Structure 1
Amino acid sequence: MTAPAPPATSSSAGALRAWLTAAEPGSRTQARLGRFYVGWLSFRANPLAMVGLAIVVALVLVAIFADVLATRDPLIGGDLRTERLLPPSAEFWFGTDNQARDIYARVVHGSRLTLLVVVLVSVIATPIGVLVGTVSGYFGGIVDTVLMRITDIFLAFPRLVLALAFVSALGPGIENAVIAIAITIWPPYARIARAETLTVRNGDFIHAVRLQGASSARIILRHVVPLCMSSVIVRVTLDMAGIILTAAGLGFLGLGAQPPLPEWGAMIAAGRQYLIDQWWVAAMPGIAIFVVSLGFNLLGDGLRDVLDPKAAK
């Protein structure tokens, strides 16, 4: 049966809306688009979630167009005799630091490092957590016991303390900081994936797929993992603020990005000795961390309401 095509671009918005909200979709594509549209309407109705989305989108755009938004060099300062520790002004919007570098340029270019850390940690940690959780929940028994006890060991330590231990062993640097944060952040994802797997592993559709000869690996990857992803995505989004704070904490202690890279935590560390008289040196990157962390938290709360029906009730 040929699925009905969506309305032409010249059709009214009402016709497109009716096609997306059809009670009986004519194809899988129409059903997926319809679920996405309904979810977007629910997300859009939450003003705080929209604020979070705007902040995250702004962070991405600032990172992409950093060279256009901030034309001064974030690594090389100006004249130390006349441009050192200048307050915010029309020429230097966020002031200058102790090396006569434009703080605005450093904050803008630092958004690239922040976004890079968030993306890399999420890409590394999420598959590890989902794989451990789904395998543990699907097989149960000794496999579940071993994997969950390993997970409990990681959960027993505060995240920052554990990240400090790994970075100390690996050595300072942005790459090692990413690895250390990823190693410490996957256990909650494993817990969530295991809980979701336990609810579906004995479902009729799983038994049907197993009777058709599907292997355990295929069942986990093709049928169990997709059902776990909505809850995991919400947790990852909420954890992005924690990733930013952990990376900033490592940078503040000198174990993350190394000078002269414009990492926000390292900028706060460099400005703490001028906090009383030249407050802007530490305050500007601190405000950037606060705003971005708030944006990810608001976005995560909005996604939780959309993707987790139990939480919305």
Structure 2
Amino acid sequence: MTTLRSWLQDPSPTSRRQARLGQLWLAWLRIQRNRLAMAGLVIVTILVLVAAFAPWIAPYDPFVQDLGNRLKPPGTTGHWLGTDDFGRDILSRIIHGARITLYIIALVAVTAPVLGLLIGTVAGYFGGWIDAVLMRLTDIFLAFPRLILALALVAVLGPGIENAVLAIALTAWPPYARVARAETLTIRSSDYIEAIRLQGATAPRIILGHVVPMCLPSVIIRVTLDMAGVILIAAGLGFLGLGVQPPQPEWGLMISSGRKFLFEQWWVATMPGLAIFIVSLGFNLLGDGLRDVLDPKSAPK
């Protein structure tokens, strides 16, 4: 282990692979020193594990109704978090709801940042009227609150998890485009970009091969910080009946169905609300930690 650590921390790496692994190792050491970031990483890891092993972890079937045990408080009759108005185990529904939440997060994370990254780098690299057109389009999307715009898109497309993901992705890309454009404006006049251009490299090759990789750290940080907002928007759409449809155990939908019991059977809406709060907090803490690690302007600690 000591030999491997010395190899990773070698100040004079002998290969590109050793240099990249060494950078990852140093980043991991830095994030380990940030306790809040490690807490966020633990929360996100637990979310992934719960979603992956939900059928084996959940004590009950999340869809089976038991009207004889409806609205039972937490800790009674073997239901740790109580039951809802149909007698379904809330803990099991929250565990299976983690799958839906992670599914939405994953789809948005591989669509919105990619679109925003391409638009931002193209606008920043070419400038001129291309930059003006793309940025004015970005401004139009930014002029509307994300939740309102997502509601309008879902109202047009119709309710459902696929349409909800599409609506969230279409409203989430503008900030990534702004970040990528700002990074590209500082990169496009660099000496190494000029050298690559003089060698005859085409604009698509320069953008995809050299500009986009330089913008990735800032975009990754923004993605992690934005996941909490994605979770809240998805829960909001489910709460309004425009996202995931019953009887799926989506957290926002669970809060919506339990709001009428909030004062007497508080656990029906409170437990999924706590799940949303904890997961959102985890992504925010992890995003702050990644910003300290990946930001090239931050000095190494």
- Normalising by the smaller structure, the TM-score range is over 0.9
1:47 to 35, 41, 50: 35
Q: Which residue of 1 aligns with 2:75?
A: 89
AA partner of residue 105 (structure 2): V
The separation in 2 between residues aligned to 1:286 and 1:227, in whole angstroms, is 38
The worse-fitting range, judged by mean Cα deviation, of 200-209 and 233-242 is 200-209
Cα deviation 1:206-249 (Å, max 9, x = unaligned): 11111111110011000100000000000000000000000000
Give 1:19 shift. Answer: 1.2
| Percent of matched pairs sharing the same residue | 65
Matched, 1:16 2:4: yes
Structure 1 distance, partners of 2:219, 2:279, is 21
CA distance in 2, matches of 1:280, 1:198: 51
**SS, match of residue 310 in structure 1:** coil
Give the alignment partner of residue 62 of structure 1, picking from 32, 35, 50. 50
- Residue of 221, 225, 228 corresponding to 1:241: 228
Q: Give the match for residue 284 of structure 1.
A: 271
Equivalent residue letter for 1:261: Q
1:136-165 superposed Cα distances (whole Å, 9 cap, x missing partner): 000000000000000001011111011001
User: Which SS does the other structure have where 1:98 is aligned?
Assistant: coil
CA contact (8 A) 1:39 1:306 kept: yes
Please give the alpha-carbon distance, in whole angstroms, between the structure 2 residues aligned to 1:132 and 1:312: 30
State whether structure 2 residue 193 is matched by structure 1 residue 206.
yes
What amino acid sits opposite 1:212 in the alignment?
Answer: Q
3-state SS, counterpart of residue 186 of structure 1:
helix
For 1:88 and 1:71, locate their aligned partners in 2 and report how far apart those are by CA, in whole Å: 14
1: CA distance, partners of 2:169 / 2:252: 18
What RMSD over aligned residues (CA atoms) do the two structures have, in Å?
Answer: 1.0
Aligned AA (2:4): L
1:312 Cα deviation after fit: 5.7
> Does residue 153 of the first structure (1) align with residue 140 of the second (2)?
yes
- For residue 25 of structure 2, what is the aligned residue in structure 1? 37
Letter in 2 for 1:45: R
Give distance in 1, aligned partners of 2:299 and 2:84.
46
Q: Which residue of 2 aligns with 1:127?
A: 114
Gaps of 5+ in 2: none
Q: Is the 8 A contact 1:62 1:108 kept in 2?
A: yes
Unaligned runs of 5+ in 1: 1-12
